[in-house]
Amino acid sequence: MTITNNKRYFEETTFWPVAILAWVAVFVCVPGCDNNEDDHEEGECGGHGHLHDGVCHCDEGYTTDPADATVCVATDAQTFDCTLERDGWEQCLDNKVQYCHIVEGMDPHFHWGADCEALGYACVQLTESEAVCVDDSSTCTAGEFKCEANTAYNCIDEDGHSHWAIEPCGTAAHCHEEAAEAHCEEEESVDECDGHGHLDGEECHCEDGYGHDGDDTSTCVIQPAGMCTLFGGEPHSHEVVTTFADFPNAHADLYEPIEVELPAGAASYIHFPCMHDGEYVIFVDNATVIDAVMHRDETDVASFYGAGANGVCATEIPEHYHVELAMDADEAPVPYIIRFTDQLTEATTVRFMVVDE
């Protein structure tokens, strides 16, 4: 009897601790006993991209961390603040180059540079202040550079592997090779044939769409037919803003066809750069949508006027405007603002282009 009671006591006193330990082991092990290493490690690039030659190519919505090119960080906020001492600093945002822009009379603000995503390249943060589009399928010799098809190519080294960093110069600048690099220069810095031809003796041989300015054979200026061709090219999609104070966030480059969607029942704004004193021309495919060109102090520029349709392609350009602008800051560019009408009854897509003369 004593033995039986001792046996029952042993079984009862042993069963419950063992059972409890078994249940604890189950609950502890369920989330942690999987052998999949991905549950323990974030993976390369923080799980938001893939490594190529020691540099992350990040997923949409992420960019390389300026402090560590092997990490992708979210791009829902600026990597750095645009301040006076960071004029010209660049960063990768949504696989595009964004740069800090300082203009007298305006708060520091960001502009978009090269769209690496659209070009089929990867935006790479080289330093805390320099970002570039990189063609990771290319090979080159470190330090090599060239201008080709008005695009600046500079060979960069990424952890022992060399690829082309690529900067398209667009239509408002030209590629130039200096002692140690290729870079884009604004058209105004190019003297020969206004950047649209080459000199043969004292006479310019102009590019298609350009010709001499009257009897001055040392110049190449765009001709009406050339303007039609340029205006009808592949447009750049931009956004307008509906609050005047936000105009630094809406930017249009010179000599580029721009498409914007204008809102119904509200004025909207976009700014363009004034590079020098003189006349500027705005071409537009809708004769009723542009109300004025404005100064930064929200007053209208008095010299703005409509000049009618383009004589060569009146259907595509039913209206164009002339405006005399002044470089009223210490250095270019100075922003001037286009104000679009508030009389539209529905959202309307408009194409326009700004050129200087």
Q: Using one digit for the tens of pLDDT, what is the confidence trace for 279-323?
A: 899 999 999 999 999 999 999 999 999 988 887 888 999 999 999
What confidence tier does 3 reach under pLDDT thresholds 50, 70, 90? very low
Phi and psi at residue 10, to the nearest 5°: -65, -45
Backbone angles phi, psi at 23, to 5 degrees: -65, -40
Instruction: From 242, 326, 319, 314, select the one nearest 278 (Cα to Cα).
Output: 326
The angle subtended at Cα 37 by Cα 32 and Cα 42, nearest 5°, is: 100
Confidence of residue 150 (pLDDT cuts 50, 70, 90): confident
Residue 30 pLDDT: 45
8-state DSSP, 306: E
Tens-place pLDDT, residues 231-254: 998 899 999 999 999 999 999 998
Question: Does the pLDDT at position 199 exceed 60?
Answer: yes
Q: Report helix, strand or coil for 323.
A: strand
Which sign, positive or negative, has the C-alpha torsion 271, 272, 278, 282? negative
Fold of the domain spanning 234-356 = Jelly Rolls (2.60.120)
Q: What number is the average pLDDT over the span 202-206? A: 87
All structural domains of the chain with their residue ranges: 49-189, 192-222, 234-356
Measured distance CA(106)–CA(205) in Å, rounded: 41
